[in-house]
Amino acid sequence: MVVRSTPKTKHVRAKLTTVQKAARCEKFTNLTNALTTAQGDYQEEACAIAQEHGRSLKWTHKQLHVGKGIFNKHRTNPWNAFVRQEMIKYNEGRGVGDHLKLPMFIAENRAQLTSSYFHLTEADKNRLQSNVETLRQSRIKVTRANPKALQKDVNATFNAMQTSWTAIQARTGVEAIYLVVRGNVEQYHEPKLSYTPTVASFIKDQCLAWSQSVSHLNSSLGLLEILIIPQQSLNGFH
């Protein structure tokens, strides 16, 4: 067995003159400053949008990074465009409840779809892609909030509040109660109530002594709300 060794080649860069080094340093300095300025402007603009429209900064950043934002969508796949066209033709004339969804449509017509796709020319594939791109451009794009995402955010925030209050109670000995309700009918999250054991005992004793109707002043909204606590609900405090 013959062992052959390849000599290592040392790569040497061309030596730069003092003027060339200064020019290169200035070039990268200008590039760094330009990127830093752009990042600062982007952050300020995102903060302004979030504050003006009442959105979180994280949500605003996400909206700026999708669609026609920083990251562009990939070009349409010819196969996906073809299947979409065939599914639309198949569902024409059918009732709303009789439309086939994409997975079921492909499963029932896989052989026919594959055979028809192999007979397409490059011109046909380009035309399908062009039709989808035209449809994308013609759609009216409206940014919407996701109610389910907001619900998850509320649940996570409420759990963090409970953990925080447990730590505060252990550290300071204070007792607390707080109620969380949704702001409008378009939100999905349910009312949440959290209280420490001593507060629960206090409310139960006071409500039994006073009445089943408790006046609750909502200081954040400046409204006086009447909270009715049924007798059977009081038995749940312990």
What integer pLDDT is reported at residue 167 of this predicted model? 84
Q: Which residues touch 226 (CB under 8 Å, ≥6 apart)?
A: 213, 214, 215, 216
Domain locations along the chain: 18-64, 78-138, 147-234
pTM: 0.35
Of these ranges, 117-126, 155-164, 208-217, the one predicted with the greatest mean pLDDT is: 117-126
The helix/strand/coil state of 13 is: coil
What integer pLDDT is reported at residue 210 of this predicted model? 61
Percent of the chain whose predicted confidence (pLDDT) is above 90: 10
Dihedral (C-alpha) 82, 84, 88, 89: value to the nearest 10 degrees? 20
Structure tokens at 136: 């994308």
Structure tokens at 52: 């003006």
Contact 102/85 with Cβ under 8 angstroms?
no
181 pLDDT band, cuts 50/70/90, is confident
pLDDT digits over 72-130, tens only?
556 678 898 899 889 988 888 888 788 888 888 899 899 999 999 999 999 999 998 88
